[in-house]
Amino acid sequence: MPLSLPRRRWPVIVVTLLALSTGAPASAVPAGAQDGAAPTVQAGPGLVHAGLAAERTGACAGLFRVVGVSSTMCTHGPDPAPAGLSVTRSVAPLPARAATAAAPLALPVCEGDGTSGRRVEVLYVRGSTSRYSQYLETFRQLAEQVDVIFNESAKATGGERHVRYVTETVAGACRPVVRDVQIPDAALNANDWAPLLNAVKAAGYARTDRKYLQFVDANIYCGIGGFAGDTRKSDANRSNTGPEYARADNGCWTAGVAAHELGHTLGAVNNNAPNASGAAHCVDEYDVMCYKDGPNVVLRYSCPSQALDQRLDCNHDDYYHTDPPAGSYLATYYNVADNLFLIKGGTTNPPPPSSNLALSATASASYTSAWESVLAINDGIDPPSSNDTVNRRWGTWPNTGQQWAQLTWPTAQSVRVADVYFFDDNGGVRLPASWSLQYWNGTAYVAVPGASGYPVAANQYNRVTFTTVSTTRLRVVLNSGAGSVGLLEVKVTT
């Protein structure tokens, strides 16, 4: 089926907002925002800014912070509807089609067991009224078309990239899973993204190894996506972790909009890129991620064909190149083609499994400060120090005494090594006086056997080895000393 990404043509009105935020070091500030510039607010259909705080400093500097979610989430803000689409009018289902040798109903490349590791998971988010059966095939086809956009764009630079979806076998073919997620009608139709995000998280879609592509059966936005604004060329780049969310409402259920919002969650377009608009888009048309997103933005039509509206980074110099030239921007700064949620090459074999079992677990805790996140403990980000002011942290201030953080797996894991990185901000959260590991033996939490000892040191991982146990739950139990306690990361291996 042909892809289409109509051009956005909504007029843009700009109002400057100021918001207060906690400070952050320069390394936490997205490039292009370090001058303290606040993001701009556009006016128009679907450009809902309720619940978004324009930030000058902190992790979301130069972006918007989604207010009312439990962990810091940044976004570039809502995108307008492309020409021909309306936020008030639902798109029709795609016509059914038969699979052929030239156009099979399937993803061309699938990887592994379809669930393990970092993956993009497709959600149909709805309230009490369900159109799941009517649109299931549409959502599958749209997700597959998004994969075409990513891979055809990779081919233009001599490489291959595919979206690593959560997949299943349908009629003998590998296809994206589409989850049917019911949430309260009030959260679905809120004039604010946070209630929907919180309801989706409460439904269980909050894994750190997931990007969630949401097809939302509402008429609030056209599209909006999380965006880290992290320019570091490193696997620790915040665009390489989750949970993160890309949203398209029913007036914009198209492959182009879905690819655009997913592109934001994967790290496009950083504000220090050569042709950046300064608001997470580009100005060198034609391109999935380019459009006039502010009154002072001047577009340059430097790409050869409007057909490239259906592709990423038409000149391959801003955010997507599978083999960037040495010394170029993308050889130096973050490159979406390196994102860990994409499959590199055309392998259909499982990748080597991560040795860190914590990445596939769900995190929980005895208590979490309102401004911290327990998701920090297994997000796969190595902290720069115990007083990490850039990445998420789990802390229990003002609570003291014994506290715990827990990793839970859906099936039993054989574990024998844990590496624990403590949070210590030299203020209310300090190193623990002591700590230990407990595992669930089926009826109770008990100490791991044969522990090698429990070191307590700042600015490094603290390792304990023990006799191998098979369990679905592992707890880090912390006893407070000079203050409350917290963790930045936990790794678990066999």
The dihedral built from the CA positions of residue 379, 381, 386 and 390, taken in this order, carries a sign that is negative
pLDDT at 347 over 60: no
Instruction: Answer whether CATH 3.40.50.300 is correct for domain 357-493.
Output: no
Separation of alpha carbons 338 and 234, rounded Å: 9
| pTM, 2 dp | 0.66
DSSP-assigned letters across all residues of 336-369: GGG-TTEEESS--SPPPPPS-GGGGSEEEES---
Separation of alpha carbons 371 and 38, rounded Å: 22
The dihedral built from the CA positions of residue 331, 332, 337 and 340, taken in this order, carries a sign that is positive
- Identify the pLDDT of residue 480: 96
What stretch of H or E contains 83? Answer: none
Phi, then psi, of 249 in degrees rounded to 5: -85, 170
Task: Find tokens 């795609």 and name the residue.
Answer: 94
Q: For 41-98, how does the pLDDT look when each residue is reduced to its tens digit (9 = 90+)?
A: 777 777 899 999 999 888 898 899 999 998 899 999 999 998 889 999 999 998 876 6
Under 8 Å between Cβ of 273 and 288: no
Q: For 205-229, how does the pLDDT look when each residue is reduced to its tens digit (9 = 90+)?
A: 999 999 999 999 999 999 999 999 9
- Identify the pLDDT of residue 345: 79
- 278: left (phi > 0), else alpha (psi -120 to 50), else beta? left
Specify the 3-state DSSP secondary structure of 317. coil
Could you tell me the pLDDT band of residue 475, with boundaries at 50, 70 and 90? very high
Percent of the chain with pLDDT over 70: 88
Could you tell me the pLDDT band of residue 354, with boundaries at 50, 70 and 90? low
Specify the 3-state DSSP secondary structure of 422. strand
Under 8 Å between Cβ of 196 and 249: no
204 vs 21 pLDDT, higher one: 204
What stretch of H or E contains 18? Answer: none
Q: Mean pLDDT highest for which of 52-66, 116-130, 279-293?
A: 116-130
Specify the 3-state DSSP secondary structure of 402. strand
Under 8 Å between Cβ of 9 and 83: yes
Domain positions in the chain: 85-344, 357-493
Q: Which residue, 418, 419, 369, is CA-closest to 394?
A: 369
Specify the 3-state DSSP secondary structure of 377. helix
Separation of alpha carbons 285 and 120, rounded Å: 27
pLDDT at 470 over 90: yes
pLDDT at 373 over 70: yes
Q: For 197-207, how does the pLDDT look when each residue is reduced to its tens digit (9 = 90+)?
A: 999 999 999 99
- Identify the pLDDT of residue 100: 54
Q: Is the peptide bond before 245 cis (omega within 30 degrees of 0)?
A: no
Under 8 Å between Cβ of 122 and 213: yes
